[in-house]
DNA sequence: CGGGATCCGGATGGATACTG
DNA sequence: CAGTATCCATCCGGATCCCG
């Protein structure tokens, strides 16, 4: 009997399957910033419809990123696994801030402040 | 005259706009692993059609992640900006490896080896 | 408040065949 | 080798209305 071999799937691809969908990363970011409820996630996202948000939260729950609990209304929380995305989010933010060399999106002061905020919240 | 304010878009969202499309991350990973040519990117991706790959490479070029140059055939290369995604890729890989606590995808030896490889190539 | 049910249109992905 | 050109399927987002 030979040793069982699992086909080695690239871990990067597996990670991307968790966060590929359009709103997932933004919702996770919101949760790191303290948001918990359905209608909170919709704030500032005029294009996010109920259906899409609902599906999104469901998929995130199936993927083990969040939990859904009743607590005088329904609250969503990051799981251990969801929290483990902190460094991914941090590096995504740093990528943008570090490659915005022509200050297309931010001036130097913005960058400094944003780096500080993301570091405090995500690391 | 008041100070000009740019609307502050979340840097995480901007980063995601670069890598959201289905094959982008895998192509960038391939490039970190030394692949340069159209047909090399197709290896191991039976569902990646010519059209989709072509569009994908075009968009990545527009986004400043890669360059396209003729060199006895056409070669794609990561730009400085593209290379700056190294830590994002690394953290994506680590996320999967660190949260696979039930060894669903990898056994402990695989994990150790994969961590080593990604560290060498991406950091 | 936290969604579910429908419906629609555009974007995206994929297969196949062909080309300079 | 590095794509284009078609055609087709589908997914997905978004709008709207409805419900317990």
Tens of pLDDT, residues B24-74: 999 999 999 999 999 999 999 999 999 999 999 999 999 999 999 999 999
Nucleotides on strand D with an atom closer than 7 A to protein CB? 1-7, 12-17
Q: Does B67 lie in the same domain as B94?
A: no
- Letter string b/e over residues B77-89, b meaning 16 or more CB atoms within 10 A of that residue's CB: ebeebbebbbbbb
Cα nearest neighbour of A7 on chain B: B105
- Assigned domain for B17 exists: yes
Answer whether A119's CB lies under 8 Å from A90's CB: yes
The Cα A123–Cα B63 span in angstroms is: 28
Q: Does A27 lie in the same domain as A48?
A: yes
Mean pLDDT in residue range B12-34: 95
Q: Does B55 lie in the same domain as B97?
A: no
Q: Which pLDDT score, from 0 to 100, does residue B42 have?
A: 96
Taking the Cβ of residue B88 and every Cβ of chain A, the question of whether any pair is shorter than 8 Å is answered with yes
Q: B39, exposed or middle or buried, with CB in 10 Å at 0-12, 13-18, 19+?
A: exposed
Pairing between β-strand A66-70 and β-strand A74-78 as defined by DSSP bridges: antiparallel
Q: Does A112 lie in the same domain as A65?
A: no
- Assigned domain for B38 exists: yes
Q: Does A31 lie in the same domain as A66?
A: yes
pLDDT tens figures, A20-36:
888 999 999 999 999 99
Query: What is the domain extent for residue A118?
Result: 86-122
Q: Does A74 lie in the same domain as A111?
A: no
What residues of A are in contact with residue B29 (Cβ under 8 Å)?
10, 12
Q: Does A76 lie in the same domain as A22?
A: yes
Mean pLDDT in residue range B5-24: 88
Mean pLDDT in residue range B64-89: 96
Q: Which pLDDT score, from 0 to 100, does residue A47 have?
A: 83
Q: Is the CB of B73 under 7 A from strand D?
A: yes
Nucleotides on strand C with an atom closer than 7 A to protein CB? 1-7, 12-17
Q: Which pLDDT score, from 0 to 100, does residue B116 have?
A: 98
What residues of A are in contact with residue B107 (Cβ under 8 Å)?
6
The Cα A105–Cα A8 span in angstroms is: 39
pLDDT tens figures, B93-106:
999 999 999 999 99
Q: Does B72 lie in the same domain as B92?
A: no
How many domains in chain A? 2
- Assigned domain for B99 exists: yes
Answer whether B49's CB lies under 8 Å from B106's CB: no
Taking the Cβ of residue B112 and every Cβ of chain A, the question of whether any pair is shorter than 8 Å is answered with no
* Separation of A4 CA and D14 C1' (Å): 47
Q: Which pLDDT score, from 0 to 100, does residue A6 have?
A: 54
Inter-chain CB proximity A91 and B94 less than 8 Å = no
Concatenated DSSP letters for B8-34? ---HHHHHHHHH-STTHHHHHHHHHTT
Inter-chain CB proximity A11 and B105 less than 8 Å = yes
Cα nearest neighbour of B12 on chain A: A93
Taking the Cβ of residue B80 and every Cβ of chain A, the question of whether any pair is shorter than 8 Å is answered with yes
Which of A6, A29, A98 has its CB closest to that of B12? A29
Q: Does B54 lie in the same domain as B91?
A: no
Q: Does B51 lie in the same domain as B29?
A: yes
For residue A78, give the 3-state DSSP assignment.
strand
Q: Which pLDDT score, from 0 to 100, does residue B97 have?
A: 98
Q: Which pLDDT score, from 0 to 100, does residue A122 have?
A: 98
Per-residue tens of pLDDT for chain A, all 123 residues: 545 555 788 999 999 999 988 899 999 999 999 999 999 999 988 888 899 999 999 999 999 999 999 888 899 999 999 999 999 999 999 999 999 999 999 999 999 999 999 999 999
Q: Does B102 lie in the same domain as B59?
A: no
Which long-range contacts (C-beta less than 8 Å, at least 24 apart) are formed by B65-72? B65/B18, B65/B24, B65/B28, B66/B31
> Of residues B123 and B7, which shows the higher confidence score?
B123
Q: Does A71 lie in the same domain as A47?
A: yes
């Amino acid at each position: 009997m030979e040793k069982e071999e699992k086909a080695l799937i690239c871990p990067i691809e597996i990670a991307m399957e968790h966060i590929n969908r359009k709103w997932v990363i933004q919702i996770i970011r919101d949760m790191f910033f303290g948001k918990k409820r359905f209608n909170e996630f919709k704030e500032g996202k005029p294009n996010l419809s109920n259906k899409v948000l609902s599906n999104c939260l469901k998929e995130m729950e199936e993927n083990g990123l969040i939990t859904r609990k009743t607590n005088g209304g329904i609250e969503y929380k990051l799981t251990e696994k969801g929290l483990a995305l902190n460094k991914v989010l941090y590096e995504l933010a740093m990528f943008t801030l570090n490659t915005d060399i022509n200050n297309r999106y931010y001036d130097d002061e913005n960058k400094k402040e944003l780096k500080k905020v993301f570091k405090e919240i995500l690391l």
